[in-house]
Amino acid sequence: MFKITNIKIRENLNEEELLDFIAKKNKIEKKDILSWEITKKSIDARRKEDVHYTYSVILKLKNEHKYQHKFEKVKEVSFPKISVHCSPSCRPVIVGAGPAGLFAAVTLVQHGIKPLIIEQGQSVEQRKKTVDEFMLTGKLNPSSNVQFGEGGAGTFSDGKLTTGINSPFCRKVLEEFVNFGAPKQILYLSKPHLGTDNLITIIKNIREYIISKGGTFLFNEKVSDIEIVNNKITSVICSKKIPTDTVIFSIGHSSRDTFEMLYEKGLNMEQKNFSVGVRIEHLQEDINKSQYGAITKLKLPPAEYKLAYHDNNGHSCYTFCMCPGGQVIPSSSEENTIVTNGMSNFLRNGKNANSALLVSVTPKDFGSSSPLAGVNFQKNLEETAFILGGSNYFAPVQKLGDFLSNNISKSIGNVIPTYKPGYTLTNLSLLFPEFIIDTMKNGILYFDKKLKGFANPDSILTAPETRSSSPVRILRDKNLVSNIKGIYPCGEGAGYAGGIMSAAVDGIKCAIAILEN
């Protein structure tokens, strides 16, 4: 197997045409190609007069001696070996069926262990209907919504699979997603995503696989308590008491009742940094023009961006979870609160682009030393936003130009808000602390220098986005166990992940810790 990198393509080619180009460019006889595979595909738009694709491929060639001096040989990549020592006296329990919980369950069943997965929300098919009803009518189900339910909060997002972590299990997660129905291109795109429409089917397939291997799901069941004897967990309690000595708490970043219960039970946890802000919407065609220019004739996907600004006072403003061709969605999980998030389907074919526009907050901003002070900081913003929006699940909205000039918006320009069930025009300075408003304004003006049109006065700000990550960290040791033996804090809610990919990897790691202990 040989590797060829930095293949620049400036025309629209199908896969067969791409292979012909590579063979001709590198003087490879077509008959010598036994097989080939794309390993990376990215867009290079640094120079608007020369926007192009960049590929890397591997090829299996006969007559290797003809090519071994020309190309780099591919090194074998293998996953770490798992030494299974687990022989449980009772079934491991996984609390939460988001990416962390699901991939923990997949790893366990692949090694002969049959977990019980408890999820307070609905199965993903029913959950989709409930979320759609909330967007249509404003009728919230506090147990099953954008935050809670099978698949976790990432199900209703862009489905990004990018991550800042460096783990051999990242490849494992991508391969498993393909096995469960994801498009194969996620294996090689530099910025892979799944989209909500694909995720719903994929998550259902993951559940059916786990069940086929002996796992069990309990939906619409909330863990309200745990029993501990001699500093070891002995059972979890939902509508019934379930004996167990091993529990993965993969509860997600919005599981406030569970945070409180675990804190009262003596689990060590601490405050952590997170971020709050708004969703910003632009016309997708304007983002495309800013990123790609107007010269290229390549068929390019809807453009993305990722921007960051740092002030002199220790706060940062940055964009997060950018959703090309998507919509802003209602993401409340508690009554009489407003929470927003962004979502895209796989084709990203909506008229607007949206992204979180966030400002970092730290424990010194929370006003309390309690580990749960960050939760209260979030909740205060969400409750204030509910009132500001009209106390009917309409979100507070402001045009960017009015935000910068501190005026109440009176009308909408050429960017139409996508948030449902509706919105109320207002002044967002009534919602956020002054340091957040100031940092956001400075960030917007800075971003406009990096991405032309970012500060378009007709752009829409919809508030608030408060669930960027968990406000707490549930502490664990080098074996991934909390101070209560048998409890494995896991994933984004426990403070150890930040997105679908890193949460899934953490689920795998916790499952391996159980198997090897």
Per-residue DSSP letters for 338-356?
--EEEE--TT--SSEEEEE
Model confidence at 80, in pLDDT bands (50, 70, 90)? confident
pLDDT score, position 182? 98
Distance separating alpha carbons of residues 490 and 31, to the nearest angstrom: 50
Q: Is 125 helix (H, G, I), strand (E, B) or coil?
A: helix
Model confidence at 73, in pLDDT bands (50, 70, 90)? confident
pLDDT score, position 312? 82
pLDDT score, position 170? 95
Of 455, 459, 476, 386, give the one whose Cα is nearest residue 424: 386
Model confidence at 278, in pLDDT bands (50, 70, 90)? very high
Of 483, 480, 468, give the one whose Cα is nearest residue 104: 480
Distance separating alpha carbons of residues 374 and 206, to the nearest angstrom: 33
Residues of the chain with pLDDT > 90, as a percent, come to 92
Q: Over the chain, what is the mean pLDDT?
A: 96
Q: Which of 47-56, 67-76, 413-422 has the lowest mean pLDDT?
A: 67-76
For residue 313, pLDDT beyond 90: no
CB within 8 A of 285, min separation 6: which ones?
A: none
For residue 343, pLDDT beyond 90: yes
Mean pLDDT of 324-337: 98
Q: Do 182 and 159 meet the contact criterion of CB atoms below 8 Å apart?
A: no
Q: 163-205, pLDDT tens digit by residue?
A: 999 999 999 999 999 999 999 999 999 999 999 999 999 999 9
CA 208 to chain centre: 22
Give the number of other Cβ atoms within 10 Å of residue 87's Cβ. Answer: 7
CA 234 to chain centre: 32
For residue 487, pLDDT beyond 80: yes
pLDDT score, position 429? 97
Mean pLDDT of 149-173: 95
CB within 8 A of 293, min separation 6: which ones?
A: 45, 48, 49, 51
pLDDT score, position 89? 74
For residue 474, pLDDT beyond 80: yes
Mean pLDDT of 279-301: 96
Of 34, 173, 192, give the one whose Cα is nearest residue 99: 173
For residue 88, pLDDT beyond 80: no
For residue 101, pLDDT beyond 80: yes
Mean pLDDT of 243-264: 97
Q: 49-64, pLDDT tens digit by residue?
A: 999 999 999 999 998 8
Mean pLDDT of 116-120: 98
Of 98, 180, 101, give the one whose Cα is nearest residue 146: 98
Global pTM reads 0.96
Pick the CATH number of 2-73 from 3.40.50.2300, 3.30.70.270, 3.30.70.2700, 3.30.70.120: 3.30.70.2700
Q: 379-411, pLDDT tens digit by residue?
A: 999 999 999 999 999 999 999 999 999 999 999
Domain extents in the chain: 2-73, 93-270+470-516, 273-465
pLDDT score, position 178? 98
Model confidence at 15, in pLDDT bands (50, 70, 90)? very high
Distance separating alpha carbons of residues 334 and 50, to the nearest angstrom: 49
Of 200, 192, 159, give the one whose Cα is nearest residue 342: 159
Find the DSSP H helices in 43-168.
99-109, 124-137
Model confidence at 291, in pLDDT bands (50, 70, 90)? very high
For residue 281, pLDDT beyond 90: yes
Mean pLDDT of 463-481: 97
Distance separating alpha carbons of residues 470 and 271, to the nearest angstrom: 9
Give the number of other Cβ atoms within 10 Å of residue 436's Cβ. Answer: 25
Distance separating alpha carbons of residues 288 and 275, to the nearest angstrom: 27
Mean pLDDT of 472-479: 98
Pick the CATH number of 93-270+470-516 from 1.20.120.80, 1.10.274.10, 3.40.640.10, 3.50.50.60: 3.50.50.60
pLDDT score, position 397? 98
